[in-house]
Chains A and B, each alone.
Chain A
Amino acid sequence: MAIKKDLSIDYLGVKCENPFFLSSSPVGGNYDMVAKSFETGWAGVFFKTVGIFVADECSPRFDNTNKEGTIWLGFKNMEQISDKPTEKNFEFMYRLKRDFPEKVLVSTIMGSSDDEWYQLAKMSEQAGADLIEGNFSCPQMTSHAMGSDVGSDPKLVEQYTRAVVKATKIPFIAKMTPNITTMEPPARGAAKGGAKGVSAINTVKSITNLDLDNFTAMPVVNGVSSISGYSGAAVRPIALRFVANLCSDPELLKKGIQISGVGGVETWRDALEFLLLGARNVQVTTAIMQYGYRIVEDMISGLSHWMDERGYDKVDDFVGLALPNIIPAEDLDRSFQILPAFDNKKCVGCGRCYVSCYDGGHQAIDWNERKRRPELNDECVGCHLCLNVCPVQNCITPGEIKWKRSPKKKAPVVQKSFD
């Protein structure tokens, strides 16, 4: 029998069968798509952003970054909010909530004035939304009154949040832009305006590739292109950082703001990382665009297996566990060096550790030409560049601990598993 674990979690007072939601994007833009995703196992949807403004899209509108045949390391999209009539979108949402009452419906909206935000919030309520998300962060809107230009202005975020909160009692989530130095100010603005949650992150402004025939960015739209949002696996580290910042901000904590993590999630492990940093909800788009809704099956199964392995019975038990262990760089213990240990039996003699240590490290590895094996010398500082570059699993591992200053302390805690 396949493993079965309780993955349910409460998000802003709404019971979710698991923490995995579609984010507001092309993957949740009509009834049929969302219905299929629900049947596949997704617990909820942040429906594709609805506005009074109806988008007129360009073609083509996507591009991806790749490396040595691995495509979609990152994904660029130029789509704006929904290109369907406002009423049509709320009709989709109404039918979805009617047909899937157990699933969570989040109406994601974007206005360009207090009045529009108010109207959209009202319509969301009428459509039966469990939650409302305010999109303050789309980087490719054709109007400066909407999108990430709004999201980088804490005052505007607060103002529009108030307009929504005035219209409805449904909990409101403000979606943040990463195109900003620190995310706390707009998030605090949202909290001040009455938001209960914050989603982070929306896409990162980007130029993915240049087209060498037309001398413009990709995708090429009639010979030219635009800067627009980057997503996918490549942005996950940036998203995790913002989520960690938000989850440890005292002001947001005081107000009980709950974070929904978004950015580059493909696997259960990616999702778990957001949860461990304190997010109570995880949203996915890019991986679905690439692989389809079915990826949630492995997210559910994989997370269940991990919980089983670690003895957790509910998701709440591990939300935020990693947060206290992310500390300022000035507080790190710098009293020791962990030298690499080389497993000469596993070593295949490629010499990559030698090349990288010489050209990018501290010339601490000598190369035994005859044996084709690395030999560590006294220059090693324990940076572990060799360990990062070695192509053989568990061939180079943390070894001897060298204390910079006596007296010796308890052995430091080290990484145990390396993929």
Chain B
Amino acid sequence: MSKVKIGGYTAEAVAGFDHRTAIEEAARCLLCHDAPCSAGCPAGTNPGDFIRAIRFRNPKGAAEIIRENNVLGGSCARVCPYDRLCEEACSRCGIDVPIQIGKLQRYAVEQEKAFGMKILKAPKGKKKGNVACIGAGPASLACAAELAKAGYAVTIFEREKTAGGVLSFGITPARLPQKVVDQDVASVKKLGVKFVFGKKTTAKDLIKKEGFDAVFAGVGMWKSSMPGVKGEDLKNVVTAVDFLKKARTSGGFKAMKGKKVIVIGGGDVAMDCATTAKLSGAADVHIWYRRTVAEAPANMEEIKYALSMGITISENFAPKAFTGKGKVEFAEFKGRDGKSEAKVACDYVVLAIGQQAEDVTTLLEGVKTANKGCVVARKGKTGVRGVFAAGDIVNGGKTVVEAVAEGKEAAEAIIAYLSKKGVK
């Protein structure tokens, strides 16, 4: 048996728990007083309580705790950097290894579906106040869900044809299957949130023409950063954003079958690109990163997942130029030491060195922007009256769970604004 394991493009990377293995893992939990894991979750998903529910044979209760606290609990269970959050905080680390909190969360969310539970329901008493959310990614979904739970009418405007944002277009389905994203989105829909797809709009129009009382923008960061080197416009030099989206919407990036692919970058997106290339059938996938694995922002789990497929990582090399006739044939790198050089033959280069905000001057007229084109906002509030923003577009690109946390926080700001404004 090969030590290198490569599944299909949509085959799940890790098997989940069943009832017995879940309860066994939950039994390892020390059931801490004032559980540090719960304090470790930015979105307040409350692992301490949901693990206790699993442990005391109450999987439905566990599913409720997760869904009520984190409307994207299913997706977060798959893509959260637990090793830096709840699992790092786990007291069991003092004995051996932390509880597999993410995997238990996945199990609990799976029970929601297995039992056909409808946890979130739109409240009977509606409040006056009509909010528009632009973008259907994590921050918007979380914000919309909070507002809907509080009784406000919410409409999400998404320029794509499906909801999920980065969840649906930017992550390998092996790590985050579409059905998990759909389950999360469905729970937002059940709250009565309306979705309008394929429509481009602006905050000004939504307020002035369409009569919304407030607008929230959770539009993410969809512009790939470019290294600014010679040959980056050659054919077959693709950006992570375009590459992952194409793969996600067409069952893998089939043109890479049998090809030699170079991925440049050291974040989770770079790892996702590399594994996507490999799962799409690329013969040889090699990650090149300008720093070291130790310095890389990618999760260790993601790095290990890439390595498990036989993907290699070269440290301390930054791209210098891409060359070839008509299309890329070689990638050239310069060493961090100022002396080393490398020239590598390849069929494709995927640039995953970071993302930037798209231009928001029309979309969010009047808001201030800063680094990478990000919107300046504090606790969801931009400087423009009635316009709110959170998630990647504000924080510059962090995790899904942080986008959820910030979306929830922005919802509070919107509720405060609407009350103050006198919308009743």
Q: Is the interface of A mostly helix, strand, loop or mixed?
A: loop
Asked if B414 is an interface residue, CB under 8 A from chain A, the answer is no
User: What residue in chain B is nearest A392 (Cβ atoms)?
Assistant: B95
Q: Write the B66-101 contact mask toward A (1 if CB under 8 angstroms, else 0).
A: 000000000000000000000000011111000000
In Å, the complex CA distance between A350 and B36 comes to 9
In the assembled complex, how far is the CB of residue B20 from the closest CB belonging to chain A, in whole angstroms? 6
Cβ-neighbour of B95 out of A69, A348, A352, A354 (below 8 A): A348
Name B166-207 residues within 8 Å CB distance of A. none
Asked if A372 is an interface residue, CB under 8 A from chain B, the answer is yes
> What are the residues of chain B within 8 A of A352 when measuring CB–CB?
30-33
Asked if B148 is an interface residue, CB under 8 A from chain A, the answer is no
Q: Write the A47-76 contact mask toward B (1 if CB under 8 angstroms, else 0).
A: 000000000000000000001111000000
Name A384-404 residues within 8 Å CB distance of B. 391-392
Q: Write the A349-370 contact mask toward B (1 if CB under 8 angstroms, else 0).
A: 1111011000000000001010
Contact A348 B55 (CB under 8 A): no
> What are the residues of chain A within 8 A of B95 when measuring CB–CB?
348, 391-392
Asked if B360 is an interface residue, CB under 8 A from chain A, the answer is no
Contact A354 B33 (CB under 8 A): yes
Contact A355 B23 (CB under 8 A): no
User: What residue in chain B is nearest A367 (Cβ atoms)?
Assistant: B33
In Å, the complex CA distance between A315 and B11 comes to 59
Contact A349 B27 (CB under 8 A): no
In the assembled complex, how far is the CB of residue A391 from the closest CB belonging to chain B, in whole angstroms? 5
Are A349 and B94 also in contact (CB < 8 A) when A354-B33, A391-B30 are? yes
> What are the residues of chain B within 8 A of A369 when measuring CB–CB?
34
In the assembled complex, how far is the CB of residue B136 from the closest CB belonging to chain A, in whole angstroms? 39
Name A281-326 residues within 8 Å CB distance of B. none
Contact A351 B94 (CB under 8 A): no
> What are the residues of chain A within 8 A of B94 when measuring CB–CB?
347-349, 392
Are A349 and B32 also in contact (CB < 8 A) when A392-B94, A392-B95 are? yes
In Å, the complex CA distance between A352 and B31 comes to 7
Cβ-neighbour of B33 out of A69, A350, A391 (below 8 A): A350
Contact B30 A68 (CB under 8 A): no
Cβ-neighbour of A351 out of B20, B21, B27, B34 (below 8 A): B34
In Å, the complex CA distance between A70 and B91 comes to 22
Chain B contributes a number of interface residues (CB within 8 A of A) equal to 18
Contact A350 B91 (CB under 8 A): yes
Asked if B295 is an interface residue, CB under 8 A from chain A, the answer is no
> What are the residues of chain B within 8 A of A68 when measuring CB–CB?
23-24, 26-27, 55
Contact B24 A372 (CB under 8 A): no
In the assembled complex, how far is the CB of residue A29 from the closest CB belonging to chain B, in whole angstroms? 30
User: What residue in chain A is nearest B93 (Cβ atoms)?
Assistant: A348
In Å, the complex CA distance between A68 and B24 comes to 6
Contact B91 A69 (CB under 8 A): no
Contact B21 A69 (CB under 8 A): yes
User: What residue in chain B is nearest A393 (Cβ atoms)?
Assistant: B95
Cβ-neighbour of A350 out of B23, B24, B27, B32 (below 8 A): B32
In the assembled complex, how far is the CB of residue A174 from the closest CB belonging to chain B, in whole angstroms? 41
In Å, the complex CA distance between A292 and B103 comes to 33
In the assembled complex, how far is the CB of residue A70 from the closest CB belonging to chain B, in whole angstroms? 8
> What are the residues of chain A within 8 A of B93 when measuring CB–CB?
348
In Å, the complex CA distance between A369 and B31 comes to 16
User: What residue in chain A is nearest B57 (Cβ atoms)?
Assistant: A68
> What are the residues of chain A within 8 A of B23 when measuring CB–CB?
68-69
Contact A69 B24 (CB under 8 A): yes
In the assembled complex, how far is the CB of residue B86 from the closest CB belonging to chain A, in whole angstroms? 15
> What are the residues of chain B within 8 A of A372 when measuring CB–CB?
34, 36
Q: Write the A366-379 contact mask toward B (1 if CB under 8 angstroms, else 0).
A: 01010010000000
In Å, the complex CA distance between A350 and B33 comes to 6
In Å, the complex CA distance between A367 and B30 comes to 16
Contact B24 A349 (CB under 8 A): no
User: What residue in chain B is nearest A348 (Cβ atoms)?
Assistant: B94
User: What residue in chain A is nearest B31 (Cβ atoms)?
Assistant: A352
In Å, the complex CA distance between A354 and B34 comes to 11
In the assembled complex, how far is the CB of residue B382 from the closest CB belonging to chain A, in whole angstroms? 37
Cβ-neighbour of B30 out of A67, A350, A354 (below 8 A): A350
In the assembled complex, how far is the CB of residue B198 from the closest CB belonging to chain A, in whole angstroms? 48
Cβ-neighbour of A69 out of B20, B31, B32, B92 (below 8 A): B20
Name A324-355 residues within 8 Å CB distance of B. 347-352, 354-355
Contact A355 B27 (CB under 8 A): no
> What are the residues of chain B within 8 A of A392 when measuring CB–CB?
94-95
> What are the residues of chain A within 8 A of B27 when measuring CB–CB?
67-70
In Å, the complex CA distance between A69 and B28 comes to 10
In Å, the complex CA distance between A352 and B91 comes to 11
In Å, the complex CA distance between A372 and B91 comes to 10
Name B1-52 residues within 8 Å CB distance of A. 20-21, 23-24, 26-27, 30-34, 36
In Å, the complex CA distance between A42 and B23 comes to 35
In Å, the complex CA distance between A67 and B27 comes to 9
In the assembled complex, how far is the CB of residue A211 from the closest CB belonging to chain B, in whole angstroms? 15
In Å, the complex CA distance between A347 and B27 comes to 19
Having A68-B23, A70-B27, A354-B33, one finds 20 other A-B pairs with CB under 8 Å, namely A67-B27, A68-B27, A68-B55, A69-B21, A69-B24, A69-B27, A348-B30, A348-B91, A348-B92, A349-B36, A350-B31, A350-B33, A351-B32, A351-B33, A352-B30, A352-B32, A367-B33, A372-B36, A391-B95, A392-B94
Q: List 14 A-B contacts (CB under 8 A).
A: A67-B27, A68-B23, A68-B27, A69-B24, A70-B27, A349-B32, A350-B33, A351-B33, A351-B34, A355-B33, A367-B33, A391-B95, A392-B94, A392-B95
- What 8 A-B pairs come out closest when comparing CB atoms? A351-B33, A348-B94, A69-B24, A68-B27, A350-B30, A350-B32, A350-B91, A348-B91
